[in-house]
Structure 1
Amino acid sequence: MSDTPFGFSNRDDDERKRDEDAARGRAENPSASNPFGFAIGGSGVGGFDPAQLGQMLTSIGQMLSGMGGVGGPGMPSGPVNYDVAKRLARQQLGASVNPISQGQAKAVADASHLAELWLDAATTLPAGATRTVAWTGNDWIEETLPTWKRLCDPVAQQISSMWTASMPEEAKEYAAPMLGMLGQMGGLAFGSQLGQALGQLAKEVLTSTDIGLPLGPSGTAALLPTAISEFSAGLERPESEILVFLAAREAAHQRLFAHVPWLRQQVLGTVEEYSRGIKMDFSSLEAAAQNIDPAALADPARLEEILAQGSFEPQTTPEQKAALERLETLLALIEGWVEVVVTEAIGDRLPGAEALSETLRRRRATGGPAEQTFATLVGLELRPRKLREAAALWRRLTTDARMEQRDGVWAHPDLLPDSTDLDSPAGFIDRVMGGGATAFDDPLAQLAETEARERAEREQGRKQAGEGSDSPKDQS
C-alpha cells in the first residue's frame, strides 16, 4: 500500500510547477483550454462548431445505447450506476454461489445463541440483534448496498463535476445534452469500479461488521458460512470453534451499535464528512482529453484509455485530516472494546481464542480487501491504527475499574478517550477511577454537570464584561 495517509500520491510539491506548465501550454497551444476537442473558429458561438458537437453527441449516444442498455430509457439517475455495480459484483462471485443449507443456518443460529449467553456476563449492554442470519456473498451485496450508496455518493459527485470543471461558460449551453451523457458515463465508470471492489469483498468478509462499519441493516447479525469455511481452512482450529468466536464478535458489535444510539451515525457520518471534503485534481484527465477527435469517443476502448489516464487524486485539507483521525480513533475504540469483551466472555471456553484474536488483528492491520476498497472508492484507508492501544485501555478499565464504568464511557461521544488518551491512557483511567468514578457511573449526569458549569462560567464572563463597560460611567 501507499505510504501516504490516504493511499494516494502527494502532489503538493509539484502543484505550482504543474500550474505553470499548464499556463505555458495554453499560451503555446490555444486548444489546451478546449478539453473536449471542439473546433476553434467555427460558426458556433464562442468559436464552437455545433456541427462537430452534433457528431460527438451522436457518437456518444450510440456508444451508451450499446452498453447493455445503459443510457437508454430508465437509465438510473445519480452519480453512480448502482445497477451496474450490483451486476458486476454478482458476476465476480460467479454462478456457483450455493444457497445457505439448513445445516449452515442451524450452525450459525446455535453459535450465535451460545455467544450471546457468554456475552451477557461480559458487558452491561444487552443483546442488540433482533435476528441472526446466514448470508451468501450475494446476500451481503444486496443487504449492504444501501450503506455503500451513502458512503460512495459524495466522492462520485465530485468526480461527476469533472465534465464541466474546465469547460468555457459559452460552451455549456450547446453541450448540455452531451454533459448529460457524460454524466451517465461517469456513473457507469464509478459503478463498474464499485462493482468489482464489492465483488471481491463479498468473497472475503466473514460477518456484517467484519470491516468495522455497520454496513448491514440495523439489528441484523449476519455471518457468511462459505467465507468462514475458507477462512478456517488455513487455521489449526475446528471450524465450529471459529464460528462461535466470530459469532461472538458479531454479537458484540451489534450490542454496541444498538445500545449506543449515536455511534452508527457518528461512524458513517465521519466517513461522509471526509468524502465530501475531497478536492479532485483532474488536470491529468484534462491533458489527456486535449485535441481528441470526437469520433474517438465512439470507441469504448479509446474512451477507457482516456479515463484511465485521468485517474483522480485528492487534495486533502486540514479538516479532512482531522476527520480521518477521529474516524481512526473511533474504529480503534470499537474494535478494541469488542476484542476485550469477547475475550472476557469466551475465557477458557475456546482454547484458540487468543490466536484467533491475533489473526484478525493482523488481518485488519496489514490491509485486506476492506482497506483497498476504501482507498479506491472513498479515498481513505479504513485502518484502526491504534487498535492495540485501544484494547489495552479497555482492558485496564475492565481490570482496574468496573464493567459498568467501562461501558458507561459509551454514553456520550464527549466521554470517549481521544487519540492522545490512547497513547497515554493513565490520565484517562485516573479520571474514570478517581474523582470522576461516580460520574462515569452516571455519565449523562456528568455531561449535564459539565454543561451547567460551562453555562455558569459564560454567565459570569458576561457579568464581568458588563461591569467593565459600566466602570467609565461610574468614574465620570
Structure 2
Amino acid sequence: MESSARETSAQAQNLVNWELAAATAARLAPAGPTLGSAEIGAAVDNLRLMAEISVPHVHDITGLEAARDLRDSSVLVVDRASWARANTQSFAVMLQPAMERMLEGRRGTVSTGAASVSGAITGGQLGAVLAFLSSKVLGQYDPFSALAENSTAPAAGRLLLVAPNIISVERDLNVEPADFRLWVCLHEQTHRVQFAAAPWLRHHMLDEIENLSGQLLGNVDSLMERASAAAKSLKDRAAPGAVPGRGAILDLLQNPEEKAALSRLTALMSLLEGHANVVMDAVDAGIVPSVKTIRQRFNSRGKNHGVIEKFIRNLLGLDAKMRQYSDGAKFVREVVAVAGMEGFNRVWDSAAQLPTETEIHDSKLWLERMGL
C-alpha cells in the first residue's frame, strides 16, 4: 500500500514537467531594462531597504502585531526567470494533492510514459504563461515555498520583489524611484503580515486551491468539451463592443461545486489584495511624497495594453482579477469606516470569519454576521 502511494506520488510529479516549465519561462521571458552591474547592485540594495522601511508603516496602518517580527519569512529581490522558477515550485505544492487524487481515481489507465509525454507538453505551456506573467508582476508573497520538496525557504515563506519589473514601471511612469519602490513594498509587505497574523491562512488557502483544482481534474473527461466552449466564449468577447468577461480559463468551471470553490477563492484573494491596496493608499505625502502622482499614473497605465496583451489578459482573466481587487478594497474601507481597523482585523482570527464573495460586495452582511 505504501509502495503504491509512492508510485502515485511520483507519477503525479510527472504530469507537469516543472523543470521544463521553469526553463521555458526563462527562455521566453522578455528582456528587462538595460542596467549596468553597479546600477543593478544599487537597485537591489535600495529595494531591500524599502522593504525594511515599509514594515513599521504597515504596522501603524493595520494595527497587526505580526508586523513587529517577520523573521519567519524572507525577502528576495529576483529577476524574471527566478520569479518564474519560484512559481513552478509553488504550483507543484498546490497541485500535487489534486493530481494524486486524480491518478488514484484512474489507477492503471495512465502509464508512466504517457504521464511523461503529457508532462512535457503541459510544462512547456505553463512556461509560456509564466514567461508572459514574469514581466507583469512587481512583487509576490509566496506562502507555499517552504512546503516544496527539498525546500530551503524559511518556514513561513518568502516575499519576492521582481526588480526589472519595478524599475521598468517606475521609468515608464516617470516617477521618483525611491517613492515608487516604497509604495510597492507597502503592498507586498502587507501580504507578508497577513500570513504572519493568521498562521492558519496558508493551509486554509492550500485546501481551497486543492479543492478547486481537484474539481477541475476530477472532471477531466469533460475538460476538452468545456475548453472548446471557453475558446468560443473568448472569441465572442474579442468582438468589437463586447463586454469583458471573467477569462476563458475560468469559463471551464461549470458545475455548482466548481463555482462554489471558485467563489471562496475569489473572496479570499479579493480580501488579501484589497487590504494590501488600502494599506498602500493609506500613506500620505509625509511617507511617500509623490503618492498621488504615482497612483494616478499607475491606474492610467492599464489603458495602454496592446492587442496581443489584451487577448492574453482576457484569456487569463487578469482584468477581472483587477476588478476583484478593487471590490476587496471597497469592502475593507467600508468595514473600517463602521467598525474601525480593530473590528476589521477580526477577519484574521479564523477561516469562519473570512467574508464570502457575497459579503465582499455587501459589507453590511459581514458586519451583521460579526455582530459589528
Taking structure 2 as the reference length, the TM-score comes to 0.70
Report the equivalent of 1:180: 112
> Per-residue deviation at 1:430?
5.5
> Per-residue deviation at 1:244?
0.6
Structure 2 counterpart of 1:342, from 280, 285, 291: 280
> Per-residue deviation at 1:350?
2.4
Report Cα offsets for 1:192-233 as digits up to 9, x if no partner. Answer: 111112222222211124xxx746553433312211111122
Structure 2 counterpart of 1:418, from 350, 356, 360: 356
Q: Across the two proteins, how many residue pairs are aligned to each other? A: 318
Q: Is the 8 A contact 1:121 1:345 kept in 2?
A: no
Amino acid at match of 1:235: L
Report the equivalent of 1:191: 123
Give the number of the structure whose residues are more often helix, by fraction: 2
Report Cα offsets for 1:219-266 as digits up to 9, x if no partner. Answer: 433312211111122214212211110011111110001221122222
Report the equivalent of 2:46: 107
2:53 is aligned with 1:121: no
2:261 is aligned with 1:323: yes
Report the equivalent of 2:165: 227
Report Cα offsets for 1:405-440 as digits up to 9, x if no partner. Answer: 2213321121233223233323433565xxx35xxx
Query: Relative to structure 1, is the Cα distance of residues 255 and 85 closer, same or farther in structure 2, using a 3 angstrom cutoff?
Result: same
Query: Relative to structure 1, is the Cα distance of residues 132 and 318 closer, same or farther in structure 2, using a 3 angstrom cutoff?
Result: same
Amino acid at match of 1:197: V
Secondary structure of 2:61 counterpart: coil
> Per-residue deviation at 1:108?
0.9
> Per-residue deviation at 1:345?
3.9
Report the equivalent of 1:295: none
Q: How does 1:233-272 map to 2 (within 5 A)?
A: 233-272=171-210
Q: Is the 8 A contact 1:375 1:381 kept in 2?
A: no
Secondary structure of 2:55 counterpart: helix
Structure 2 counterpart of 1:84, from 4, 7, 20: 20
2:53 is aligned with 1:133: no
Secondary structure of 2:173 counterpart: coil
Query: Relative to structure 1, is the Cα distance of residues 420 and 142 closer, same or farther in structure 2, using a 3 angstrom cutoff?
Result: closer
Amino acid at match of 2:44: A
Q: Which runs of 5+ in 2 are unaligned?
A: 1-9, 146-152, 226-248
> Per-residue deviation at 1:141?
2.6
> Per-residue deviation at 1:283?
6.4
Q: How does 1:17-416 map to 2 (within 5 A)?
A: 78-93=14-29, 101-125=40-64, 126-127=66-67, 129-130=70-71, 131-153=74-96, 179-209=111-141, 214=143, 218-278=156-216, 279-280=219-220, 281=222, 314=252, 316-346=254-284, 348-354=286-292, 356-357=294-295, 383=321, 385-416=323-354
Q: Is the 8 A contact 1:80 1:153 kept in 2?
A: no
Q: Report the Cα distance in structure 1 between the residues aligned to 2:265 and 2:92, rounded to whole angstroms.
A: 19
Taking structure 1 as the reference length, the TM-score comes to 0.56
Query: Relative to structure 1, is the Cα distance of residues 117 and 380 closer, same or farther in structure 2, using a 3 angstrom cutoff?
Result: closer
Secondary structure of 1:391 counterpart: helix
Secondary structure of 1:191 counterpart: helix
Q: Report the Cα distance in structure 1 between the residues aligned to 2:253 and 2:355, rounded to whole angstroms.
A: 29
Q: Is the 8 A contact 1:208 1:215 kept in 2?
A: no
Q: Report the Cα distance in structure 1 between the residues aligned to 2:173 and 2:192, rounded to whole angstroms.
A: 26
Q: Report the Cα distance in structure 2 between the residues aligned to 1:195 and 1:431, rounded to whole angstroms.
A: 43
Amino acid at match of 2:27: Q
Secondary structure of 2:14 counterpart: coil
Q: Is the 8 A contact 2:11 2:115 kept in 1?
A: no
Amino acid at match of 1:117: P
Report the equivalent of 1:58: none
RMSD: 4.2
Report Cα offsets for 1:276-298 as digits up to 9, x if no partner. Answer: 111233667xxxxxxxxxxxxxx
Secondary structure of 2:60 counterpart: coil
> Per-residue deviation at 1:360?
6.1
Query: Relative to structure 1, is the Cα distance of residues 197 and 249 closer, same or farther in structure 2, using a 3 angstrom cutoff?
Result: same
Amino acid at match of 2:270: A
Secondary structure of 1:316 counterpart: coil
Report Cα offsets for 1:347-369 as digits up to 9, x if no partner. Answer: 65324435545666788999998
Q: Report the Cα distance in structure 1 between the residues aligned to 2:367 and 2:285, rounded to whole angstroms.
A: 24
Q: Which runs of 5+ in 1 are unaligned?
A: 1-73, 285-310, 438-476
Q: Report the Cα distance in structure 1 between the residues aligned to 2:52 and 2:277, rounded to whole angstroms.
A: 19
Query: Relative to structure 1, is the Cα distance of residues 360 and 185 closer, same or farther in structure 2, using a 3 angstrom cutoff?
Result: farther
Q: Report the Cα distance in structure 2 between the residues aligned to 1:77 and 1:398, rounded to whole angstroms.
A: 44
Report Cα offsets for 1:126-167 as digits up to 9, x if no partner. Answer: 326433331112321333322111344577679989xx89xx
